Structure 1
Amino acid sequence: MSETTTVPQRSSLPARLFRLYGGLALYGAGIGLQVESGLGNDPWDVFHQGLGLRLGLSIGTVIIAVGALVMLLWIPLKQKPGLGTISNVVFLGLFADAAIFLLPAPGNLVLQALYVALGVTSIALATVLYIGAGMGPGPRDGVMTGLMRLGLSVRLARLLIEVTVLIAGWLLGGTVGLGTLAFALAIGPLTQLFTRWFPLT
């Protein structure tokens, strides 16, 4: 008598592509909301914004350029990109610039705070969506996992990266404030919450 084994199957390719590109679009919207709030960006976007101000480029253009340059670090870290990695480099900056262009500037502190809340929530959900697509990590995430391969803990690797880009971005003129603090405190719990409805496997 033969036995059948139930093997978990990954979602269909169209569903995975929807998660990937829907997640990247939502992530770009989240970046736009935080930037337009004026209350402070997440660490990487403090850096992107500051570099853009120095170079006279949009934050989206800098996101694309930095993503491509960061991928060069994958070579010594022995990381392999996937479709999700390449798509992150190409599309995230485009979606962020589109959101910044379309979003009206908030006229008071209440709306600014709402932008931050919506931005952080959007980025948390977007992270779960595009990582759950299983098509490769973003270029910045790949640096973190590469450092982990060298023996650093995930906490230390992420801390080193985000503190470095935050300080560099602040020195370049990127916006640091209550929105930055809100992101740091809320992004982990919110991301974990969304995995209940959108599992990563």
Structure 2
Amino acid sequence: MNLVDLGPIAQLRAGRLGRRLPQLYLGLVMYGVSLAMMYRGDLGLAPWDVLHSGLIQHVPITIGQAVVVVSFLVLLLWIPLREIPGIGTVSNALVVGFSADATLAVLAEPDALVLRVALMVGGVLLCGLASALYIGAQLGRGPRDGLMTGFARRTGHSIRLVRTCLEVTVVVIGVLLGGTLGLGTVLYALAIGPLTQLWLPAFTVDLDRPGPLVPAPGSVCP
């Protein structure tokens, strides 16, 4: 499994777009579906989605629209960090939110606790698979992942520390705004890294043009 760090033009020139582009968009759509499943389960959301769910308590937008808005706000922070977006970065900012809203339009919130638990667990599992798909396509980091790697590079701190600080911050802000925090948040935090790591080797596309190797992420976010 070789993950490489390429600029946006090199990403496209690296070949195998016939597989990589469909895999990227399939992964992003599935990520949005997984968000919607956890949202309908109403037992806790992923850290950034706690923020999104809190934001919609105060602004008349959907949670999918909140994902898109926050994604582009995060991309503004890439400018001083000198992170370079790729096609996957911009696609991530748009597709996940649209997919989440489309799924929520047809997925009702169940009354039975067992079904809500199933949605929560299924959402986490699907998110791990979706993450492996879009990361393995090697077409650019998601907005939040780029924020994490940018801060890590600028500060010299570890990815683990920077990610923890960012996610604790967004969870605290989300909770203060009224976002959904619960068992699903804890399950996501514990499981998403191992699940992505488990599936990533199967979906990492070897590229025709080598670049600097980057470590496989222990956990990811869009």
Moved more, 32-41 or 96-105: 96-105
Query: Where does 1:27-106 land on structure 2 (aligned, <5 Å)?
Result: 27-106=31-110
Task: Read off the aligned partner of 2:194 and give its amino acid letter.
Answer: P
1:67 to partner: Cα distance: 0.5
1:154 to partner: Cα distance: 0.7
Report the Cα distance in structure 2 between the residues aligned to 1:35 and 1:178, rounded to whole angstroms. 12
Q: Secondary structure at the match of 1:61?
A: helix
Q: 1:50-80, CA deviations, whole angstroms, 9 ceiling, x for partnerless residues?
A: 0011112100111111101100110111100
Query: Where does 1:1-201 land on structure 2 (aligned, <5 Å)?
Result: 12-150=16-154, 151-199=156-204, 201=206
1:185 to partner: Cα distance: 1.1
Task: Read off the aligned partner of 1:103 and give its amino acid letter.
Answer: L
CA change 1:200–1:46 in 2 (3 A) is farther
Report the Cα distance in structure 2 between the residues aligned to 1:89 and 1:183, rounded to whole angstroms. 20
Report the Cα distance in structure 2 between the residues aligned to 1:102 and 1:183, rounded to whole angstroms. 24
CA change 1:198–1:11 in 2 (3 A) is farther
Verify the 8 A CA contact 2:137 2:204 in the aligned structure 1: no
Report the Cα distance in structure 2 between the residues aligned to 1:84 and 1:24, rounded to whole angstroms. 9
Which one has a bigger Cα radius of gyration? 1
1:90 to partner: Cα distance: 1.6
Verify the 8 A CA contact 1:29 1:96 in the aligned structure 2: yes
Task: Read off the aligned partner of 1:182 and give its amino acid letter.
Answer: L
Identity within the alignment, %: 48
Q: 1:70-104, CA deviations, whole angstroms, 9 ceiling, x for partnerless residues?
A: 00110111100000001011211100111111112
TM-score (norm 1): 0.92
Report the Cα distance in structure 2 between the residues aligned to 1:139 and 1:200, rounded to whole angstroms. 21
Verify the 8 A CA contact 1:128 1:200 in the aligned structure 2: no
RMSD: 1.4
In structure 1, the partner of 2:212 is none
Equivalent pairs counted in the alignment come to: 193
